[in-house]
Structure 1
Amino acid sequence: MDLKEIQNLIKFVANSGVAEVKLEMDDVKITIRTTLEGNVSETTYVQQIPNQPIHHQVVASQQIAPAALIPVPVVENAHYITIKSPIIGTFYRKPSPDKPMFVEVGTTIAKGDVLCVIEAMKLFNEIESEVAGKIVKILVDDMSPVEYDQPLFLVDPS
């Protein structure tokens, strides 16, 4: 089991709402404990390598952004289009602190309009709309960390 699979497992457990998960395979044992808020509080990774002693490694204490834990009701938002983050980084609603917001709730947008900026590794990436419509809801707070594929906006295409 590689590190990427373990990180995906941690994210899944944090979003599932369970308190503890133990996974034991042939030579790998993983225990993930979460708090009531869904934050991963402890992850223990144990791997037995043949002819060597068992070693323990705490892989991550990971905080899940509160915006990532807010469920979007499927039934009432079924006709809305969700615009998701294409990268991991920090979400900004303005091009700079002294400039106005790119969009607000109720703003009519066209395909190609800049909706926000996501900073990743000191690079500011403009996120453009792939649909035309009206912004119904902004799902992330300004200057918040975002994950890949995290919902950012709900757009009414009608």
Structure 2
Amino acid sequence: MELSVTDLRELVTALSQSDIVELTLKSSGFELTLRKPGAMVSVVAPAPIAPQTAGESAPNSPPVAEPVSASPPATPATPPGKSSDLLAITSPMVGTFYRSPAPEEPAFVGVGDRISSGQTVCIIEAMKLMNELEAEISGEIVEILVENAQPVEFGQTLMLVRPV
């Protein structure tokens, strides 16, 4: 069984949007376990095979576990050189970032706009579903860090807001 990066992203998104707490996939080549909330993702893969010399048999090594954190990447809420009073709006999932509800429509928010808690600030498309992202804070949009129609990762900072 092979999993592409797209397949893995879809699994993570589906898990985050469901009531499933843990999902384990096993194959002869690997084992993948996804747990939520904020749990660790374990990938078990065969150990690399060392080059062989003439007459030498390949060692039979046990699989090696490589833990990969499922928590958001450690990114500061404020990039270096920015004011420390700014708060970040981050992506709750892997997907594609859209600033407006449709290509011909105006953006939900722009730099300098005042937002209030509960206001839609963008859309994250995941698995062909459009997920409106609502602000959890009120304030002024200081910077939008992602271009329209660009892929985003779970926990990636999308916008910086100066609270009011």
Kept after mapping to 2: 8 A contact 1:48/1:54: no
- In structure 2, relative to structure 1, the CA distance for the partners of 1:104 and 1:54 (3 Å cut) is same
* Percent identity of paired positions between Structure 1 and Structure 2: 44
Q: 1:122-142: per-residue Cα shift (whole Å, max 9, x none)? A: 000000000000000000000
| 1:98-137 correspondence to structure 2 within 5 Å | 98-137=104-143
What is the aligned-residue RMSD (CA, Å)? 3.3
Partners of 1:82 and 1:48 in 2: CA distance: 40
Q: 1:79-124: per-residue Cα shift (whole Å, max 9, x none)? A: 0011100000000001001111000000100000000000000000
Task: Give yes or no for the alignment of 1:146 onto 2:161.
Answer: no
Task: Give yes or no for the alignment of 1:85 onto 2:91.
Answer: yes
Gaps of 5+ in 1: 8-44, 56-68
- In structure 2, relative to structure 1, the CA distance for the partners of 1:74 and 1:51 (3 Å cut) is closer
Kept after mapping to 1: 8 A contact 2:78/2:88: no
Task: Measure how far apart 1:53 and its partner are.
Answer: 7.2
Q: Residue type matched to 1:114 in 2?
A: T
Partners of 2:116 and 2:153 in 1: CA distance: 25
Q: Residue type matched to 1:145 in 2?
A: P
Task: Detail structure 1 runs of 4+ shifted over 2 Å in the superposition.
Answer: 48-55, 71-77
Kept after mapping to 2: 8 A contact 1:133/1:157: yes
Count of aligned positions: 102
Task: Measure how far apart 1:54 and its partner are.
Answer: 9.3
Partners of 1:96 and 1:48 in 2: CA distance: 47
| 1:36-47 correspondence to structure 2 within 5 Å | 47=47
Q: Which structure's residues are more often helix, by fraction?
A: 1
